[in-house]
Amino acid sequence: MKNILLFIILLIPWGLSALLFPVDTSFYKALNQPFFAPPSFIFGIVWSIIYILITLSIYTIFKKQLYNKQYITSLILNYITNQLYTFFFFTLKSPFLGFVDCLLVFITSLSLYLETKKLNDKAARLLIPYILWNGFACILSLSIYLMNF
């Protein structure tokens, strides 16, 4: 029970931006999009899975008390940039700031992966889908920005 509670406590913050900054799907649908843009409902599914994987990674590190200053710094920077995307893209309705933040999320997710890998290889592997999705999201975000500039 204690482990489940810890997992839930670590998972909750990842969905915080959706509560603070609701996603305006009509804004997203109104933008010109590249042919490879997935339907908007896919994002909720993919991000839910990714947030669970991130949380499993963090849970592994925290449960084994493997964390250090570099890991915590990478985690906090990644969390902040990740949470700000919804604000920049959907609240400010800025595809440019969305792209810039998306790029920062990608960079900080790479940093988080590298810091996690130093501590626990299994926990780092859980972050690979996050990095891949962020790479795709950067290409999509740049494409949307350029198509609507």
Rounded CA-CA distance 109/3 in Å is 25
What SS3 state is found at 126? coil
Structure tokens at 68: 């250090």
88 within a domain of the structure (yes/no): yes
137 within a domain of the structure (yes/no): yes
Question: Which residues make Cβ contacts (< 8 Å) with residue 6, sequence separation at least 6?
Answer: 59, 62, 63
16 within a domain of the structure (yes/no): no
Q: Can you give the pLDDT at residue 123? A: 97
Domain count for the chain = 1
Model pLDDT for residues 70-122, shown as the tens digit of each residue: 999 999 999 999 999 999 999 999 999 999 999 999 999 999 999 999 999 99
122 within a domain of the structure (yes/no): yes
Rounded CA-CA distance 120/102 in Å is 26
Structure tokens at 34: 């590249």
Q: Can you give the pLDDT at residue 55? A: 96
Neighbours of 48 (CB within 10 A): 12
Question: Which residues make Cβ contacts (< 8 Å) with residue 147, sequence separation at least 6?
Answer: 31, 32, 33, 34
Q: Can you give the pLDDT at residue 112? A: 98
Q: pTM of this prediction?
A: 0.92
Question: Which residues make Cβ contacts (< 8 Å) with residue 35, sequence separation at least 6?
Answer: none
Q: Can you give the pLDDT at residue 33? A: 96
Which residues form the domain of 104?
Answer: 49-149
Q: Can you give the pLDDT at residue 40? A: 87
Contact 116, 54 (CB under 8 A): no
Model pLDDT for residues 6-46, shown as the tens digit of each residue: 899 999 998 887 777 778 889 999 999 999 999 988 998 99
Residue type, 126: L
Rounded CA-CA distance 55/60 in Å is 8
42 within a domain of the structure (yes/no): no
101 within a domain of the structure (yes/no): yes
